[in-house]
Structure 1
Amino acid sequence: MNKILPLLFLLVFPFQIYAQTVPYRIFNLQGEEVSFEQMAEEAAEKQVVLFGELHNNSIAHWLQLQLLKSLHERGEGLVFGGEFFEADDQLSLDEWFGDLINEKNLEAEVKLWNNYQTDYKPLVQYAKSNDIPFVATNVPRKYASAVSRGGLEVLEDFSEEAKLFIAPLPIEIDRELPGYVGMKEMMHGSHMNAEHMVAAQALKDATMAYFILKGLDGMEQFYHINGSYHSNNYEGIVWYLKHYEEGLSIMTITVEEKGVMDIDEETRAKANFIIVLPTDSPKSY
């Protein structure tokens, strides 16, 4: 017996160490573990791919870049875009992509997220270097802020020029969607108006969906980066994509950080593919 225990230790211990050092695992909708290549292959067949991220997770951003490279290598007609640029930054982005202004000018003029340099810049630079069109999809934050204070009706008071950077009005909201209901519940007791905050969230979802569809026009595929809460459970952006255009083929990806690198039934239902990362995976902030 004394000889058997050390043998069992040697057999089991390496697997425990391995399990703790796996940087990510990917699961499909059926809960089966799949490879990155399998996920990329399925993504290549869809018109819209939504990669729902945790904004500060460095491994997730690296995987986003690998998927961008894979989709680019697999076919033509790819458009790339993301929540991390607002729609009114598009002119400056187009000027930079067209080599009319330099990168320093671009970064001085657009509204950069605090982790742009480490997490998003490699994606945008790859797109520019490979002539992949880029679309800034997010609503300008000043309009979302106005809605969070006064509701969607305040948008009617803005100029026609301002309305070019938001989804067409009026914006319909399904306030019974579980994500919006959950948002209201989380705000219970807050001094902020929960209905207006849901409207601001819906404005972001609708605007991103609207600009995805505009960018997709005449192209084969749109690959989009957004916070996972904008596409989890096939709500948010997904709901508006289907609302604006029936019959789109859409694939969603979500990212989860877990102490145990596995998924349960609730997590499995969030997206077509679930990327599970360790809770101690590297963060940019």
Structure 2
Amino acid sequence: MTRLLSLLTLPLLLAACTTVPDDDAGTLYHYRLSASQPDTNQGELTLTQAVERVADADIVLVGELHTHSAVHLLQARLLAGLTNTSRADSRGLALSMEQFSRADQPVLDAYLAGRIGEAALIRDGNAWPNYQSDYRPLVEFARQQHLPVIAANAPKPLVSCVGQEGPAWLDKLPAHRRSQLARELTLTDDPYRQKFMASLHHGDADDNARRFAAQTSWDDTMAESMVDYLNSHPGQRIMHIAGNFHVEGGLGLASRIASRNPALKVALVVPETEAQRDAHVTSGRTADIRVRVSPLPERWLNADEMKQDMIALHQSRSRDCSQWLQP
């Protein structure tokens, strides 16, 4: 009985948090929601108003600053709010996640159905290292409320090989592995590619072209996963979480969704810090909801720290891609 009551009350408790309490200001859990420029009090929204603003979308793309406490708290509250809205208007809701790949869908489904425990989900589902702190609340809410969870992304090893070998490498994959990435990649010189190239500070043209092919492998695969789901489940809506680069400006995921089904209505929820707002030139679509958050600690304090981190990252991504070509 206690467990039943907890399952029934959880969505009500989350949905009741319509505003962020004033006493969390100054902590990394604090956020402000806005429908306009976040540096003014005009257009500020409660959580209830924010949910209402995006409730008519087919897909709500929620950007995240990975490991940011406020953003992950907001994601849980948005999911609860959209779940209540979907029940009120009889539209089903699915949670879609960058953090699981198509190859992990059977494991994720087994966990949602209660056939395996969380340790198996984390191990066999290749969960991100911060799963328990940041993504567990979303998956547990989906499990308790019987929401489908879409493992939307492409497997990281295959994406790394695209970046290492180039997009033509995909043609060598056996069919069961090739199906784990989007059927088509967007490789044209569109605004998303231009933004990505402008973010790079090293590499020659060929290297960077391969890097972009890997980047858009993620966006195209996630977009295709969502569009395919809605084709099979017409009338439902999706809330998708992904890194902010994939969401902001509508240049990544939203553009890839539109190329596959322009009739779908896509809403953007974009977090940003003061420094990001001042440093970045706004391009593309304006967010439907802006989320103002405090900055995370500086990742690097000097060029040497960054260089050491990048060297280690490059070494960790070097792969023997031939193993994936076996039938």
Q: TM-score, normalised by structure 2?
A: 0.74
Listed as ranges, the matches of 1:186-265 within 5 Å are 186-190=199-203, 193-216=207-230, 217-219=232-234, 220-258=236-274
- Output the aligned Cα RMSD: 2.8
1:40 to 47, 51, 57: 51
CA distance in 2, matches of 1:43, 1:261: 22
Cα distance, 1:243 vs structure 2: 0.3
Question: How far does the alpha carbon of each residue in 1:151-187 deviate from its partner, in whole angstroms, 9 at most, with x for none?
Answer: 2111010010012211113x2323231x322322332
- The partner residue of 2:288 within 257, 272, 275 is 272
Matched with 1:7 is none
State the partner residue of 2:70: 59
Task: Report how far residue 29 of structure 1 moved.
Answer: 4.6
Q: How many Å separate the matches in 1 of 2:188 and 2:277?
A: 34
Is 1:78 matched up with 2:93?
Answer: yes
Structure 2, unmatched stretches of 5+, are 1-21, 300-327
Matched, 1:162 2:193: no
Q: Deviations over 1:89-125 (max 9, x none)?
A: 0001111112222222222211111111100011101
- Separation in 2, partners of 1:30, 1:260: 13
| Residue 35 of structure 1, CA deviation | 2.0
Give the drift of 1:19: 11
1:27 alignment counterpart = 34
- 1:111 is aligned to 2:122: no
2:295 aligned partner, one-letter code: T
1:46/1:249 contact within 8 Å kept:
yes
CA-CA distance at 1:40 after TM superposition: 0.6
Greater gyration radius = 1
TM-score (norm 1): 0.84
1:245 partner letter: N
Determine whether 1:139 maps to 2:154. Answer: yes
Structure 1 gaps, min length 5 = 1-16
- Residues 13-72 of structure 1: CA deviation (Å, up to 9, x unaligned): xxxx98964822112156632222211112221110000000110110010000001111
Which residue number corresponds to residue 8 of structure 1? none
**Partners in 1 of 2:96 and 2:215 — Cα distance?**
19
Amino acid across the alignment from 2:33: I
249-258 or 96-105, which moves further after superposition? 96-105
What code does the residue aligned with 2:182 have?
A: A
| Distance verdict in 2 for CA 1:143–1:19, change over 3 Å | closer
CA distance in 1: counterparts of 2:157 and 2:271, whole angstroms: 28
Aligned length: 264
Q: CA deviation at 1:257?
A: 1.9
Q: Residue 187 of structure 2 aligns with which residue? A: 173
Q: Return the offset for 1:265.
A: 8.1
Against the structure 1 CA distance between its residues 26 and 261, is the aligned structure 2 distance closer, same or farther, given a 3 Å change threshold?
farther
% of aligned pairs identical?
A: 26
Q: How big is the shift at 1:188?
A: 4.1
In structure 1, how many angstroms separate the alpha carbons of the residues matched to 2:281 and 2:198?
Answer: 23
